[in-house]
């Protein structure tokens, strides 16, 4: 479908570190970059990006590839879709199959459906429109902006959808728009107020539906999970909010659709919402493309506050700055907006406290701080956090925690500093990891940089004692494997060394001189091994002629070895 030249041009035109850095917080590590792997639950950075060779590799889960395969996996795209989008991103013209892709077909159907629901609301559902305008206090402009709609609970409506959406019943059933009800089928969202859900690019990929008759089912339901609708990767309203998030350098995170819509109505354009799920590392990596600062405006009940605590824990691990706000008089932002209006929303946001201070507040509610034991328990709860902050250099979080603790307990900050000291011993992290022997490094550097010399390199390494602990690596080198494939055969510490060796240049002439010099050593080893083999065979040889020949050969080898030793080898 695409030529090799086109694919190479796309890969050369995209800085793989910058591109992957949109999803992963990468830090320089020698000649490569590393961070937490986005493809598995990674607590210790094991994901490496090598800019010179244009590939990534995770030592934790084994994922590897180039910028195209990374984009395919991170966005759950087909190869063709990934190439087309990356070509557009890089400004590279390519020959594109004019046939509509699966993704395009899907988003076209979902966009048309959003329009149908929206017209149904505006033209036929005055009572639902009144609910939005009067009870929710959402303006008509905002209703249009979010393309809110309605799915009627009528028998004829689902039957009309295939023709309106220009597709067939089977496709709509596969997409989860229609569901079987015995011998017939109905709209999954019948009788619900509809909220289209866009992806980061602004394409409709799913819906949230709010029941209007409380007796007919759960309050909210979402589209079923699919290739393009995954709640742990989507944030409601991100396509509209991302420019404001980048400009203001922080994002407001709320729980529900109407929390976000109400914040938008109040003029807070940098807010996004969770789709009925907890905040995930995937969400954070997406937000990390726009800001490293998050303000959580979740529900003020116990469940909401627990969710806030969990969210700041996850965010801090990924080096986000956090703050938390909640309304003491109203359950959530939507309720506050309805009860007190836009001004109250902005005033409440202004009262946000840093995430570490919120954590102190949260734990202190469960303890009796009027007695020493309660204060001691609070300090013990928070000590691991402070140790973690210190180990990562997050001194602002340390100070915020100590200041909030001082206010709660009455102890001075100096006393708390002393009580919260501790953590890693001097010897922690001192365990030695195996690595490449010094004698092997030049050979492996030559192997990685000069394919013509690989056979000589492998032959010489086999004769070195240092190769004993690197049997799997040597097997791969015998097969002529490239760096990307060799990384699968070794532990992370050696993998890092291989990446470094591939990056430090050794010219061809120097490489030949290294091998020639080492060849003297290797030849000496060959002579010694042949002599040892003769010594093993001699006692078993019965034939006098054969025995004499072996003895003559051993004398020749001994003389050869003596000549080498006189030569200073």
The DSSP line for 530-563 is HHHHHHHHGGG---HHHHHHHHHHHHHHHHHHHH
Gap between the Cα atoms of 238 and 214, Å rounded: 29
User: What would be the CATH architecture of the domain defined by 100-229?
Assistant: Alpha-Beta Complex (3.90)
Which residue shows structure tokens 């007919």? 216
Confidence of residue 437 (pLDDT cuts 50, 70, 90): low
Can you say whether the dihedral through the CA atoms of 391, 396, 400, 402 is positive or negative? positive
The 10s digit of each residue's pLDDT in 289-347 is: 889 899 999 988 888 899 999 999 999 888 899 999 977 777 899 999 999 999 999 99
- Cα separation of the two ends of the chain: 58
- The answer to whether the Cα torsion of 536, 537, 539, 540 is positive or negative is positive
CATH hierarchy code of domain 4-90: 3.90.580.10
Q: Give 523's pLDDT tier (boundaries 50, 70, 90).
A: low
Q: Is the model's pLDDT at 462 over the cut of 80?
A: no
Query: Strand runs (DSSP E) across 92-203, as ranges?
Result: 149-151, 178-181, 184-187, 192-198
- Cα angle 392-395-399, degrees, rounded to a multiple of 5: 140
Average pLDDT of the segment spanning 91-113: 83
The pLDDT confidence band at residue 560, using thresholds 50, 70 and 90, is low
- Only one residue has tokens 């030849």, namely 523
Rounded Cα–Cα distance for residues 108 and 166 (Å): 10
Q: Which pLDDT band, with edges at 50, 70 and 90, does 568 fall under? A: very low
Q: Model confidence over 475-494: pLDDT tens digits?
A: 888 899 988 888 888 888 78
Q: Please say if the pLDDT value at position 395 is more than 90.
A: no
Q: Which residues contact 126 (CB under 8 A, 6 or more apart)?
A: none
Helices 544-566, 508-537: axis angle to 10 degrees equals 140
State whether residue 182 is helix, strand or coil.
Answer: coil
| Percent of the chain topping pLDDT 70 | 90
Decide if pLDDT at 430 tops 50.
no
> How large is the average pLDDT for residues 366-392?
89
Could you give the CA distance from residue 435 to residue 184 in angstroms, rounded to a whole number?
A: 66
pLDDT band of residue 524 (cuts 50, 70, 90) is: low
- The pLDDT value given to residue 464: 62
pLDDT of the residue at 569: 46
Ranges 162-176, 266-280, 302-316, 548-562: which has the least confidence = 548-562
- Tell me the C-alpha distance between 136 and 183, whole Å: 38
Element of type H or E holding 222:
strand 220-222
Give the predicted TM-score (pTM) of the model: 0.66
Question: Can you say whether residue 185 is alpha, beta or left, with left for phi > 0 and alpha for psi between -120 and 50 degrees?
Answer: beta
Query: pLDDT digit string (tens) for 170-195?
Result: 999 999 999 988 778 889 999 999 99
Question: Torsion angle, CA of 411/413/418/422, rounded to 10 degrees?
Answer: 110
The residues, ordered by sequence, that sit 6+ positions from 391 with a Cβ below 8 Å of its Cβ are: 423, 424
CA-CA distances (angstroms) from residue 332 to 138, 305, 328, 336, 339? 16, 11, 9, 6, 11
User: Smallest Cα–Cα separation from 38: which of 69, 81, 80?
Assistant: 69
396 pLDDT more than 90: no
323, 297 contact by CB (below 8 A): no
Rounded to whole angstroms, how far apart are CA atoms 449 and 457?
Answer: 11
Listed by start position, the domains of the chain span 4-90, 100-229, 356-421, 437-568
Check if the beta carbon of residue 202 is closer than 8 Å to that of residue 239: yes
Instruction: Please determine, for residue 197, whether its predicted confidence score (pLDDT) is greater than 60.
Output: yes
pLDDT exceeds 60 at position 468: no
What pLDDT shows up at residue 438? 57
Judge contact between 75 and 103, C-beta under 8 A: no
- The per-residue pLDDT of the chain, averaged, comes to 86
What is the structure's pLDDT at 554? 79
Q: Give strand pairing partners of 203.
A: none
> Residues 6 or more apart from 445 whose CB is under 8 A from it?
501, 502, 504, 506
- DSSP, collapsed to helix, strand or coil, labels residue 413 as helix
Mean of pLDDT values over 23-34: 87
Please state the separation of Cα 308 from the chain's center in Å. Answer: 21
- The rounded distance, in Å, linking the Cα atoms of 311 and 392 is 19
Asked whether residue 54 carries a pLDDT value surpassing 50, the answer given is: yes
């Amino acid at each position: 479908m695409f030529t090799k030249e086109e694919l190479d041009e796309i890969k050369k035109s995209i800085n793989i570190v910058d591109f992957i850095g949109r999803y992963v917080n990468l830090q320089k590590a020698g000649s490569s970059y590393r961070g937490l792997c986005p493809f598995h639950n990674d607590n210790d950075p094991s994901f490496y990006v090598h800019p010179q060779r244009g590939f990534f590799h995770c030592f934790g889960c084994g994922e590897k590839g180039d910028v195209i395969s990374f984009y395919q996996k991170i966005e759950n795209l087909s190869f063709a879709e990934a190439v087309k989008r990356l070509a557009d991103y890089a400004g590279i013209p390519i020959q594109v199959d004019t046939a509509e892709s699966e993704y395009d077909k899907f988003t076209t159907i979902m966009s048309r459906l959003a329009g149908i629901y929206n017209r149904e609301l505006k033209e036929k559902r005055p009572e639902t429109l009144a609910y939005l305008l009067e009870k929710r206090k959402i303006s008509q402009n905002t209703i249009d902006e979010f393309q809110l709609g309605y799915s009627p609970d009528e028998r004829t409506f689902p039957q009309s959808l295939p023709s309106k959406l220009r597709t067939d019943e089977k496709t709509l059933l596969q997409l989860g728009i229609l569901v079987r009800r015995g011998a017939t089928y109905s709209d999954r969202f019948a009788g619900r107020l509809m909220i289209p859900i866009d992806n980061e690019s602004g394409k409709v990929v799913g819906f949230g539906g709010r029941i209007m008759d409380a007796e007919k089912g759960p309050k909210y339901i979402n589209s079923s999970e699919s290739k393009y609708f995954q709640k742990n990767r989507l944030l409601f309203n991100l396509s509209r909010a991302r420019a404001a998030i980048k400009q203001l350098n922080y994002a407001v995170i709320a729980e529900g659709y109407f929390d976000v819509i109400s914040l938008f109505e109040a003029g807070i354009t940098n807010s996004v919402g969770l789709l009925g799920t907890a905040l995930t590392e995937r969400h954070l990596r997406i937000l990390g493309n726009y800001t490293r600062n998050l303000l959580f405006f979740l529900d003020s009940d116990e469940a909401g506050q627990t969710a806030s605590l969990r969210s700041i824990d996850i965010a801090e691990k990924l080096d986000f700055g956090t703050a938390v706000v909640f309304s003491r008089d109203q359950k959530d932002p939507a309720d506050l907006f309805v009860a007190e209006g836009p001004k109250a929303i902005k005033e409440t946001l202004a009262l946000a406290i840093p995430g570490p201070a919120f954590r102190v507040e949260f734990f202190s509610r469960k303890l009796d701080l009027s007695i020493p034991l309660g204060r001691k328990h609070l300090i013990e709860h928070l000590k691991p956090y402070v140790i973690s902050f210190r180990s990562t250099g997050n001194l602002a979080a340390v100070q915020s925690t100590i200041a909030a603790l001082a206010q709660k307990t009455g102890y001075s900050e100096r006393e708390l500093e002393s009580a919260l000291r501790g953590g890693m011993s001097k010897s922690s992290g001192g365990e030695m990891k195996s690595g490449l022997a010094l004698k092997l490094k030049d050979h492996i550097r030559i192997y990685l940089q000069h394919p013509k010399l690989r056979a000589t390199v492998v032959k010489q390494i086999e004769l070195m004692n240092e190769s004993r602990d690197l049997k799997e690596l040597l097997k791969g080198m015998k097969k002529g494997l490239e760096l990307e494939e060799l990384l699968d055969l070794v532990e992370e510490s050696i993998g890092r060394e291989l990446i470094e060796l591939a990056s430090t240049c050794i010219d061809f002439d120097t490489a030949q001189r290294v091998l020639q010099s080492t060849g003297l050593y290797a030849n000496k080893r060959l002579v010694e091994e042949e002599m040892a083999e003769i010594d093993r065979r001699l006692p078993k040889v019965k034939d006098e002629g054969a025995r004499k020949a072996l003895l003559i050969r051993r004398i020749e080898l001994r003389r050869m070895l003596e000549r080498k030793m006189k030569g200073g080898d």
